[in-house]
Amino acid sequence: MGGITQVSSNRVFGGYQKIFSHDSKELGCKMNFAIYLPPASEEKKVPVIYWLSGLTCTEKNFVEKAGAQRYASENGVAIVGPDTSPRGLNIPGEEDGWDFGTGAGFYVDATREPWSKNYRMFSYVTKELPELINENFPVLPNSQSIMGHSMGGHGALICALKNPGQYRSVSAFAPICNPIKCPWGKKAFDGYMGSVDCNKWADWDATELVKKYQGPPLEILIDQGKEDQFLKDLQLLPENFVQACTNSQMPVILHMHEGYDHSYYFIASFIGQHIQHHMRYLAA
């Protein structure tokens, strides 16, 4: 296989959960990614859903905790999950906080030094990684969707909104919907892009992007727990996104769930419904 090295392979629900590493050109470092290959992929090319994880995660959290393999196996779909930032670059400040730098790439292309050379997670997840996946695995290159959690929910939304037609569908768990208006987003965008031209931040904010989206219709699915501490802390702001969708006549489904928090237990409870949502578009 071209330029990828297998780190691990475990049989699960009749398919294989694998982790690979490769040297990323966009990020200038070695990166891991996870891929679940369902049994169906042994006989034919299958659709693929990209999963973007949240702050502090690696490629492992989702594959170990979400229980998505069962549904991916049943539906005959691959799931690819990258890491959440470049790693091991020794950039000053990289390890100072859990919400910036390592584990917190925010799926943007940084423009500010010293981050701009390597912190290019947007280009990585929307270009380099799909090319690598399409080249090395039995997936249908024109049948892909995207989903994510928290920072990765923000990532999934902006990847879909900034690349009309690339993803057949998009969904998110407790996404950071309006990063330019919340503490996590302001810190990250200031760090990666600077504050000289704050207007540029809107290019990476789902609530802003949906206002000017021109492309095929996207029925956006969002699940949100009502007992999510970060919802209460005003880090997520789903109401702003839904309002913007309504104003722009973008179809959006927001499910608010009594009692659920921000954890992988919440994701595990609804990941099956998200995969079903994507299959309606991927299998069409």
Min separation Cβ 67 and a copy of itself, Å? 4
**Residues tagged active-site:** 150, 228, 262
Q: By C-alpha distance, which of 26, 23, 21, 22 is closest to 118?
A: 26
Collapsed DSSP state (helix, strand, coil) of residue 244: helix
Burial of 186 (0-12, 13-18, 19+ CB in 10 A): middle
Residue 131 within binding range of a copy of itself, rule CB under 8 A: no
Of 246 and 273, CB closest to a copy of itself: 273
Residues 3, 7, 14, 141: which binds a copy of itself (CB under 8 A)? 14
Residue 70 within binding range of a copy of itself, rule CB under 8 A: yes
Of 45 and 257, CB closest to a copy of itself: 257
Q: Residue 199 is encoded by which pair of tokens?
A: 């207007």
The Cα-based distances of 281 to 2, 68, 278 in angstroms read 30, 18, 5
Collapsed DSSP state (helix, strand, coil) of residue 46: strand
Residue 6 within binding range of a copy of itself, rule CB under 8 A: no
Min separation Cβ 241 and a copy of itself, Å? 23
Interface region with a copy of itself, contact rule CB under 8 A, candidates 180-188, 195-203, 243-251, 265-273? 265-273
Interface region with a copy of itself, contact rule CB under 8 A, candidates 47-55, 60-68, 124-132, 177-185? 60-68
What is the 3-state secondary structure of 55-123? CCCCCHHHHHHCCHHHHHHHHCCEEEEECCCCCCCCCCCCCCECCEECCECCCCECCCCCCCCCCEHHH
Question: 107 and 125 in contact (C-beta within 8 Å)?
Answer: yes
Residues 268, 273, 276, 280: which binds a copy of itself (CB under 8 A)? 268
Q: Read off the DSSP letter of residue 237.
A: -
Residue 98 within binding range of a copy of itself, rule CB under 8 A: no
Min separation Cβ 81 and a copy of itself, Å? 15
Residues in contact with a copy of itself by CB under 8 A are 10-14, 17, 64-65, 67, 69-70, 225, 227, 257, 259-261, 263-266, 268-269
